Chains A and B, each alone.
Chain A
Amino acid sequence: MSGMNMYLDPGSGSYLLQLLIAGLLGGLLLLRMYWAKVKGFFRKLFGKQVDEEPE
């Protein structure tokens, strides 16, 4: 690990799992953003109000 000042052990499994699925996570985020845009486009097209994603 490069981060020498980590004060908690991230856990080997938790650390490696993220690296293994990093590409998938990034890809899914892109898909989700793309999908939100498509939905927004159609909502506008049909004159419906675009509701903000609640946090």
Chain B
Amino acid sequence: MKSRSKAAREGASFRDPSGFVFYHEGAPFRQINQFYRDDYRQLIDSGLYQRLVAEKLLVAHEEVDLPAPVPQLAYQVIRPEPVAFLSYPYEWCFGQLKDAALLTLKAQELAVQRDMSLKDASAFNVQFLRGRPILIDSLSFERLKPGEPWIAYRQFCQHFLAPLALMARSDVRLGQWSRLSVDGVPLDLASRLLPWRTRLSFTLDVHIHLHARAQRRYAGEVVTERRGARVMGKPALLGLVSSLRAAVRGLSWEPTGTAWADYSETRDYSEGALAAKRATVEEFLRRIQPTTVWDLGANTGEFSRLASRRGALTLAFDYDLGAVELNYRQVKAGGEDNLLPLVQDLTNPSPGVGWSNRERRSLMERGPADAVMALAMIHHLAIANNVPLEMIGRFLAALGQWLIVEFVPKQDPQVRRLLANRADIFPDYHREGFERDFGLHYRIHKSQPLPDSDRCMYLMEALPR
């Protein structure tokens, strides 16, 4: 379809003929097509939309008069509440994916009660807004077809139940699978990877193991010939939601055990050094007044909160799934609305994935932030991963204008541990080398040594490119 306007179409918005997302002057809009008109009317007229918005399950939108980019198909243009930062299931911790699953089931339950149904249950339709998951696709609801099963059942199991079960019952790192496969975990694979004892759980047995067998058994069959007179009424649809909810609720993951044991940020600092570090970060934040902050290597978010409590939308990235989990629990417990913990391995940040590499954006495409924080993090990239300091500076300068960075030198216990069992091939890893290499990409505004340690804090501003 050729668009006559200059509106830029969202790269992830092409599968559903109901409409699509486009950007106008930087803000997202949604064209609703004539194809979806009757479903949209029922969404609004049945009161479902109002209920979903009131319960913060679906983003609010308003109908606007903006010209439609593809007028020959258009019914209406809406402006949904924008989500400041798009995150993806492979960047969520266990708790975030579980909450997104329960949200999707709640929306389906409310929909069925009003003679509608979710026609897709993609985890990518969920985003985090003000700390909580929310559905962003206003066109996901269709009128219920009497007697029909839930069309999105397979998708729900692939996007939510299978990864949650694998994370809880096999290994939490298997949540990363959704980065490989944009349509979730194939159920036959999940069924093979899950331990045998998951068959003893009625809900997991039905929705994953039996489900995978049914897929194999009926592959390629024409269902109209197979179903006979069978129908699925509303009680069964609600029963399905209830059963899936029991399955999801029955899964949990605790970041305990040796690999996830120590999240204390304080072990290598004296009381004075820690207080000075906090005061320095606060002073730098006060000086630059950022509205968006990316905290890289945020651990459980102790320093991220110095930014988020000032009102900056703060992303707390860490590669440790347990740290992100604990951070997310804190966000939930405290009702914090501008801190978002996310899983991110900076040595291999999220790439562009899906169709044309444009469906899900890379980390770099979702920047830049006003300010980047990299506290006690550089040595993990420079020493543990052998990245030259100059390249780290170049990478960080692309992520945000300002940089609050802590340099941890070789004599520090943290770096000594990294070098304990290997050759020291880093002759330039010292303060002078750091300042020289980062100076190629930044203007250094201020440096502040921390007391009782050899560490040093810096405020830097990226040079114009």
User: Measuring CB to CB, which residues of chain A are less than 8 angstroms from any residue of chain B?
Assistant: 1-3, 5-8, 10-30, 32, 55
Contacts of A16 in B (CB 8 A): 214, 218, 221, 223, 226-227
Which of A8, A15, A22, A32 is B223 in contact with, Cβ under 8 Å?
A15
Contacts of B222 in A (CB 8 A): 12
In the complex, the answer to whether A3 meets B243 with C-beta atoms within 8 Å is no
* B145 interfacial by beta-carbon distance below 8 Å: yes
Bound CA–CA A37/B238 (angstroms):
17
In the complex, the answer to whether A18 meets B119 with C-beta atoms within 8 Å is no
A-B residue pair count with CB separations less than 8 angstroms: 117
B130-143 interface code vs A (CB 8 A; 1 in, 0 out): 00000000000010
Contacts of A30 in B (CB 8 A): 235, 239
Bound CA–CA A33/B80 (angstroms):
36
Which of A7, A19, A24 is B119 in contact with, Cβ under 8 Å?
A7
Which of A5, A6, A12, A18 is B35 in contact with, Cβ under 8 Å?
A5
Which of B106, B145, B215, B232 is A11 in contact with, Cβ under 8 Å?
B215
Bound CA–CA A23/B237 (angstroms):
10
Task: Tell me how far the C-beta of A1 lies from the nearest C-beta in chain B, rounded to whole angstroms.
Answer: 6
A26-B149 contact, Cβ under 8 Å, with A8-B119, A13-B214, A14-B211: no
In the complex, the answer to whether B235 meets A12 with C-beta atoms within 8 Å is no
Contacts of A5 in B (CB 8 A): 35, 142
Bound CA–CA A29/B240 (angstroms):
8
Residue of A nearest to B234 (CB): A26
Which of A6, A13, A29 is B242 in contact with, Cβ under 8 Å?
A29
Task: Tell me how far the C-beta of A20 lies from the nearest C-beta in chain B, rounded to whole angstroms.
Answer: 7
In the complex, the answer to whether B148 meets A2 with C-beta atoms within 8 Å is yes
Contacts of B220 in A (CB 8 A): 12
The 7 A-B residue pairs with the shortest CB-CB distance in the complex, in nearest-first order: A13-B215, A25-B239, A29-B239, A14-B154, A18-B149, A13-B214, A22-B236
In the complex, the answer to whether B242 meets A28 with C-beta atoms within 8 Å is yes
